[in-house]
Amino acid sequence: AQSVAQPEDQVNVAEGNPLTVKCTYSVSGNPYLFWYVQYPNRGLQFLLKYITGDNLVKGSYGFEAEFNKSQTSFHLKKPSALVSDSALYFCAVRDFNNDMRFGAGTRLTVKP
């Protein structure tokens, strides 16, 4: 079965600095990878996805993610973090079974 791993429970960055939230995946066949963000007491919001094509995917709110097949990674990035980016971030994968499974989540804190 497919799975994703988010190795960091918590990421802390200073406002204005670049941020990276890590995700690695394990699938049979082609990976369909997603990033979501969750603000307190809210549902998950879609940020971006990789299906095929360019390894660098751009999404909402200035976020991007880099797909690396050899390292089986799909790290989320942003060149300049904002305090308002502080939230819980989830990586997810879909495969031929059609389900969608999530990583454990990474709490991002951006300090002024």
Options 15-23, 61-69, 78-86, 100-108: segment touching another protein (CB under 8 A): 100-108
Helix (H, G, I), strand (E, B) or coil at 91: strand
Q: In this chain, which of 67, 105, 108, 110 binds another protein, going by CB under 8 A?
A: 105
Please spell the DSSP secondary structure of 51-71, one letter per residue: -SS-SEEE-GGG-EEEEETTT
The distance of closest approach from Cβ of residue 15 to another protein in the complex, given in angstroms and rounded to an integer, is 27
For residue 28, give both structure tokens. 């049979």
Query: Do residues 67 and 50 make contact, with C-beta atoms less than 8 angstroms apart?
Result: yes
Q: Does 94 bind another protein (CB under 8 A)?
A: yes
Q: Which of residues 18-57 bind another protein (CB under 8 A)?
A: 32, 34, 36, 42-46, 49, 51-52
Torsion of CA 78, 29, 25, 52, to 10 degrees: 0
5 binds another protein (CB under 8 A): no
Which spans of this chain sit near another protein (rule: CB under 8 A)? 32, 34, 36, 42-46, 49, 51-52, 90, 94-105
